Structure 1
Amino acid sequence: MHDVIVTVLGNATHDPRFTKPGAGAQSLYVRIASNASYFDQDTKTWKDRKTEYFNVYMSKKQAENVLLSVKKGDPLIVTGRLGTSQWTGEDGADSYSQTIQAEAVGLDLTWGAAAFARRSRRDAPAMDVRTGEVLDDSRLAALRAEAGEVPTRAESAPAQAGEREPERASAQEESELVGAAPF
């Protein structure tokens, strides 16, 4: 059987949240609302279609980047595997929701501008995927030791005297260096 792959445009209805905090491996999700307008030729007016809601799930590095980048109200473009979830509500009735297991999440630049900032492993805050907690260096080292991971050369080598990280231009400085768009 084949997966149903969809691309949905919509707005985030809340800031991204972790599913089931503190309960094993988890993922990040954000709910998006997608609606469209159409021009009714009979009445010569614009009308809104029914709003559709989707729960969008993601994990690992994608979840970290979405957590840092997306806020409530942001216009998003999401591509991923479509599915449904079923649960029993408080009234005992079965309820359903549409879900998307995200392959890609991005900001819809039809409505604004954004600057892409590639994150290196050094820039990325270490997060506990079970709780969403940002880990300090000692806690991260302890978790890696428990998992039997070997630290990378950069993590294990102390900084040499006088050695400095290369300086990067700020996002504003980078945009000023690029100049105005040619269109």
Structure 2
Amino acid sequence: MNETIVCVVGNVATAPVYREAAAGPSARFRLAVTARYWDREKSTWTDGHTNFFTVWANRQLAVNVAACVEVGQPVLVQGRLKVRTEVRDGQQQWSSADIDAVAIGHDLSRGTAAFQRAVKPEAALTATRPEPAWETPRPADTPDGRASQQVPEPVAVT
């Protein structure tokens, strides 16, 4: 497929909104991405234009976003870019840039983070459930526990 995959670095602009749906959990938040450039005349860094993206996360990524992403934090987002254009009742046309996130992480060039692996619900169940006996019991018709090999008799074909 010809999808536009992007990786953007910016600051979380709104608190993540988490929802449980029939298709699974989802979360969304707004991301502010401001271009910075070196102004030679002033000999200082200057902020340029700010772009805002709506970041959508699904399934386990949504659960993790709701648990650890907060307003103001610097994050990196990788995902599929989708630009929507709509006209609402008598208003002018507006556009929205959405990112269907594949990966989201904190920007470690601007701070530190302590990673903690998420516990999946299935993992918690298997930890308390005993392991089934997968081995086939040995037959006991020989002294060493091995089955005696029986050779089938030939069948006459007529």
Q: What's the TM-score once normalised by structure 1's chain length?
A: 0.61
Aligned residue type for 1:78: V
Deviation at 1:3, TM superposition (A): 0.8
Higher strand share: 2
Deviation at 1:41, TM superposition (A): 2.0
SS in structure 1 of the partner of residue 114 of structure 2: coil
Look up the match of 2:17.
Answer: 17
Identical residues among aligned pairs (%): 35
Aligned residue type for 1:104: A
Distance in 2, Cα, partners of 1:14 & 1:77: 15
Look up the match of 2:63.
Answer: 64
Aligned residue type for 2:83: T
Distance in 2, Cα, partners of 1:113 & 1:91: 47
1:82 pairs with 2:43: no
Structure 2: gaps of 5 or more residues: 131-158
Distance in 2, Cα, partners of 1:22 & 1:77: 24
Aligned residue type for 2:56: Y
Higher helix share: 1
Aligned residue type for 2:110: W
Which structure: larger Rg?
2
Aligned residue type for 1:33: A
CA RMSD of aligned residues (A): 2.6
Deviation at 1:69, TM superposition (A): 0.8
Look up the match of 1:34.
Answer: 33
SS in structure 1 of the partner of residue 112 of structure 2: coil
Structure 1: gaps of 5 or more residues: 125-151, 158-183
Q: What's the TM-score once normalised by structure 2's chain length?
A: 0.70
* Equivalent residues, number: 128
